[in-house]
Amino acid sequence: MSIGRFISLEGGEGAGKSTQLRALAAALRTRGLEVVETREPGGSEGAEAIRALLLTGGADRWNARAEALLFAAARADHIEKTIRPALDRGAWILSDRFLDSSRAYQGQGELTDDDILALHRIGSVGFLPDRTLLLTLPEEEASGRARARDGDSSDRIGGRASDFHQAVAEAFSRFAREEGDRVRAIDASGAAEVVTVRLLEAIEDLLP
C-alpha cells in the first residue's frame, strides 16, 4: 500500500485553487494514486452544514470568535470523517483550503495566530498537511478572475474590503517565509497548465 499524503491548497479569492486542485488530482491519478478531492469549509456532511452557516447571511451574522470556532468545528469533523480514513487507506487527499485559511482570515483581528492554533490543537490535535501549496497572484489579477466568473456576487467573507484581503495575502506570505518546509509559495500567474507543472514540482519529493 502506498503512503497516504495530505496536501492543502491555499491563497486568496480567485487565485485558481479549485482549478488547480482538479488538475493536480488528475495528474496524480495518472500515476496510479487514489486521490480524494475535498474542500474547506466543508468536506464532510457536518462540515458542509457548517459551511452554509458560515458563508451565507449578513456580514455581522457571526462575531469573530463564533466564526473562528465554527471553522475549527467544521475542520475537526472534516479530518475525522474524510481526511483520516482516506490517509489510513493510503490515499492522497487534496484540500481546497485548510488551517492556514483560518490563520490568515480569522487570526489577524480580534484573535491572534496563537488563538487559531490553540483552537486547532483542541479541535484537531494540531493535525497539519504534509505540504501546503500557496497560490500567489497579484490582487488585481485574482479579483479579475473571480469577477469574470461570479460578476459582483460574493459570499459573506469573500465580500470583505480589499484591505482585509491584502492583510490575508500578507499573512499567507509570512507562513511561506516562516514555515517553508511545509508551505511553498507558487506563482499562480500564466496558463493553468503551466501552474499545474509548478505545483507538481513542489510535491515531487513526496511522490512514490
- Our CB check for ligand T5A shows the closer of 89 and 187 to be 187
- Our CB check for ligand T5A shows the closer of 134 and 195 to be 195
Residue 187 to residue 198: CA distance in whole angstroms:
8
Residue 70 to residue 67: CA distance in whole angstroms:
5
Chain centre to alpha carbon of residue 150: 20
Determine, following the binding rule CB under 6 A, whether residue 41 of this chain makes contact with ligand T5A: yes
Contact flags string 82-121 toward ligand T5A, x per CB under 6 A: ---------------x---xx--xx---------------
For the record, the C-alpha cell of 202 comes out as 513542489
Q: Where do we find the cell 495518472?
A: 30
Crossing angle of helices 64-78 and 45-55, in 10° steps, is 160
Q: Which position among 36, 50, 146, 169 is part of the footprint of ligand T5A (CB under 6 A)? A: 146
Determine, following the binding rule CB under 6 A, whether residue 17 of this chain makes contact with ligand T5A: yes
Smallest gap from residue 144 Cβ to ligand T5A (A): 9
Q: Choose the binding region for ligand T5A from 27-35, 117-125, 155-163, 198-206 (rule: CB under 6 A).
A: 155-163
Going by C-alpha positions, the residue among 113, 132, 122, 120 that lies closest to residue 21 is 132
Cα within 13 Å of Cα(2), Cβ side: 17
- Our CB check for ligand T5A shows the closer of 109 and 208 to be 109
* SS3 of residue 10 by DSSP: strand
Q: Which residues bind ligand T5A (CB under 6 A)?
A: 11, 13-19, 40-41, 55, 71, 97, 101-102, 105-106, 145-146, 148-149, 155, 157-158, 191-192, 195
